[in-house]
Chains A and B, each alone.
Chain A
Amino acid sequence: MAEFEVQKTQENLVYSRTKVLTDNVMHYCPGCSHGTVHKLIAEVIDEMNMQDKTIGVSPVGCAVFAYNYLDIDWAEAAHGRAPAVATAIKRLNPDKMVFTYQGDGDLAAIGTAETIHICNRGENVAIFFVNNGIYGMTGGQMAPTTLIGMKTATCPYGRDPKLHGFPYKIGNIVSQLEGTCYVTRQSVNTPAAVRKAKKAIRKAFENSLAGKGVSFVEFVGTCNSGWKMDPVAANKWMEENMIPAYPLGDLKDI
């Protein structure tokens, strides 16, 4: 088969690691959605040629170390406060491309007020929100987005709304606010979904540069360690359970 041996030349290269990703091995568990979303953000920054003009704000949660993986300037915010931090960064640096990267506990529990108010003020930033229905970093406790019946370390018999309240769709809530221009729910479980998610990231960044207000991109993701499944099973479980509860698609696009 030597006649069909593909030459590994620049000319034949169709996919390689973007230079906006550092060489560090990510601390995430095998198959974690965070890695895929990080990569997409890095690729979009690279494609927009904005590495020197992008400032990221990382959360408290699994993505706390996001700053080790994207080769841009970063601020690490206190738990839930990334939107407040990003507000100031953008207001004081209007020419910069500013985004927050947050999980469900950070954005939809402890940081709810900051989330609502950045969206209401319509700051020109992008919010990337990974919703995997669990607190990963602290060891798999219940999140505001944990599904009814889903078992976690702090709802070991399954989430009971009488005891724990209901999961909620913060994407739908922020889509109601005047300051958001683009609210969408994506996933990264298949190559097709990844391609769509990347387009959403690009659009969010472009909106922020165009001064259109907050773009809010939610990624329904997996936490295979927290869910106690292998990565492939976690993707399947997500398709069968998470996505019906958090339907994919645009909630707002103006």
Chain B
Amino acid sequence: MAKIKGTVVIDTEHCKGCKVCVVSCPCGVLDLSSQVNGKGYNYCYMANPDACTGCASCAIICPDTCITVYRQKFE
């Protein structure tokens, strides 16, 4: 059975840790890191990468446009 998987790349220096992506992800993939970036923000990361389908909801809503999304179909 074909499976669609996704992944995201987060520009952690652009991220301000607003968490809007975290609550917008339908699959619970993202969370805020306990680490901080150069500006002192807890940036977002893939806490549950296996659940990502590459739907891009997080990237679409990100006010700082710091998420890049990839999606691949596995047969």
Q: Which A residues are closer than 8 A to B by beta carbons? A: 1, 3-4, 6-9, 12-18, 21, 25-26, 28-36, 39, 188, 190-191, 194-195, 230-232, 235
Residues 16-75 of B contacting A (Cβ, < 8 Å): 16-20, 23-24, 39, 41, 50, 54, 56-57, 59-72, 74
Chain A nearest CB, measured from B17 CB (Å): 6
Cα separation A141 to B19 with both chains bound (whole Å): 26
Q: Which residue of A lies closest to B14 (CB)?
A: A25
Are B24 and A30 touching (Cβ within 8 A)?
A: no
The answer to whether B19 touches A230, judged by C-beta atoms less than 8 angstroms apart, is: yes
Counting residue pairs across A and B whose Cβ atoms lie within 8 Å, the total is 94
Chain B residue, CB-CB nearest to A35: B63
Interface residues on B, range: 35 or more
Q: For the complex, give the distance between the alpha carbons of A4 and B5 in Å.
A: 7
A25 — nearest CB in chain B belongs to which residue? Answer: B14
Specify which of B6, B61, B72, B74 is in contact with A36 (CB 8 Å cutoff). B61
How many angstroms from the CA of A16 to the CA of B20 in the assembled complex? 18
Q: Specify which chain A residues have a CB less than 8 angstroms from the CB of B72 in the assembled complex.
A: 6-7, 12
Kindly provide the distance from the CB of A191 to the nearest chain B CB, expressed in whole angstroms: 4
Residue of A nearest to B19 (CB): A232
Q: A209 to chain B: closest CB distance in Å?
A: 25
- In the complex with contacts A31-B16, A230-B19, A191-B63 CB distance below 8 A: no
Closest 3 CB pairs of A and B: A35-B63, A31-B18, A30-B16
Q: Which residues of B contact A190 (CB under 8 A)?
A: 24, 61
